[in-house]
Amino acid sequence: MKALKEHFFYWSLTLVLITLPFPKYSLNSIAIILCFTSWLFCVPFNEKIYYLKKRRYLFFLLSSFFWLSLIGLLYTSNMEEGLKNVKQNLPFLIFPLVFSSIKLEEKNSSIILKYFSFSVLIAAFFALSKALFFKINNIGNYFFFDQLAIILDKHTTYFALFVIVTIIYFLYEATKLSWKKKMLILLLLAFSLLVLYMLSTRISVLGLIAVLLIYSFQFQTNKKSPIRSIILMLTCLSLLFVYLTPNFQKRFNSKSPDGIDISDMGSRVTHWKGVVNRIGNENVVFGSGTGDGHDGLYEEYLKLDFKTGYSYKYNAHNQYLEVILFFGFIGLLLFLFILYVILRKCIKKRDYVSFSVICVFMIFMITESILERHSGIVLFSFLISMIAVKNNKIIKRVFK
């Protein structure tokens, strides 16, 4: 009976990531509720208490972003928006609590990543099949950019993040398999790269390059191995290929609400300038509070004649600036400390898969406020909790 309960719990835990790439957030929300409920009733109480006591400092560190949003309610003026943001940040409490109170084996985390990776590819396959159907029936071209995002029902940047994590898993998994199985992995990697190209998010290229460089770094001690040189060459070719293709060049430009062409880089610089101006007008130490982070930001866009940002209510499009807007430099230092602690654990344990995942998150956060959407919050809070606990082994104990 105990084994059955444990099996059910880990399946409910895995289901959280399996449902994430598919359309509609409601399905993923149900999976989170199921996971938390199964944790309450399927994991023995004494086991939860034992592991939670052992990892209490790690738990408070991982969940600190949730506590920070609660504290931010004390000095926010927009309580309605603040409560909404606290509710949105609940995964920062749920997943650190769940992972910190269970016995997590290496094989469990690997299985979770495996099923997530396959679910991403399945979601992408269904989306491309639907796009092909529309193309054949002259309904429209939904293969690229924002049109593909409509079918996926996911922002292109977030789905690109899913795909990069998938590539990380298959890339490292290939080193453990026979040549016959490696061929299948290569096909899956090729399909992942195709999806990444169709999504055409520039930051995903930088993320991919970082992954390849980290992967190749592992082979530097073996001078006879050609793998490092091959990976570095593929990195350079990927950079040239993606940046020089007409499809990607077209993606870098956008239009204002008036239909005027604007460069992507010019838009981004103006965008961040407005955010920095807003930060300078607020309490830079503690920020504006959980509900007031974006108050006044859109007016700053207008002052800079950034009508696109004002019309579409753009957020900071940079997670680090976003944290400063809401919680000041205190919040940013705490956020960076969390990332530092986890990266340090990965390096100490030589966990290159987890190290790559965290680095990719940090890169994506340069041009996207990853923690402003459900997809980013769930994936980030889930994976950092799993990675931190996996690399934080404690003394085993037999529970009766």
Residues 374 and 88 sit within 8 Å (Cβ to Cβ): yes
List pLDDT tens digits, range 44-90: 999 999 999 999 999 999 999 999 999 999 999 999 999 999 999 99
Q: Which of 149-158, 226-235, 305-314 has the lowest mean pLDDT?
A: 226-235
Is 377 within 8 Å of 92 (Cβ atoms)? yes
Q: Is residue 175 over pLDDT 90?
A: no
Cα angle 325-26-142, degrees, rounded to a multiple of 5: 85
Q: What is the pLDDT of residue 297?
A: 85
Whether 383 contacts 357, CB under 8 Å: yes
Output the pTM of the full model: 0.92
Backbone phi and psi for residue 141, each to the nearest 5 degrees, phi listed first: -100, 110
Tell me the pLDDT band of 100, cut-offs 50, 70 and 90.
very high
DSSP letters spanning 165-199:
HHHHHHHHHGGGS-HHHHHHHHHHHHHHHHHHHHH
pLDDT of residue 64: 94
Q: What is the pLDDT of residues 258-295, one digit of tens each?
A: 444 555 666 777 778 888 888 888 788 999 889 888 88
Q: Using the predicted structure, report yes or no on whether residue 243 has a pLDDT greater than 70.
A: no
> Is it the case that residue 253 has pLDDT exceeding 70?
no
Give the containing element (helix H, strand E) for 253: strand 253-255
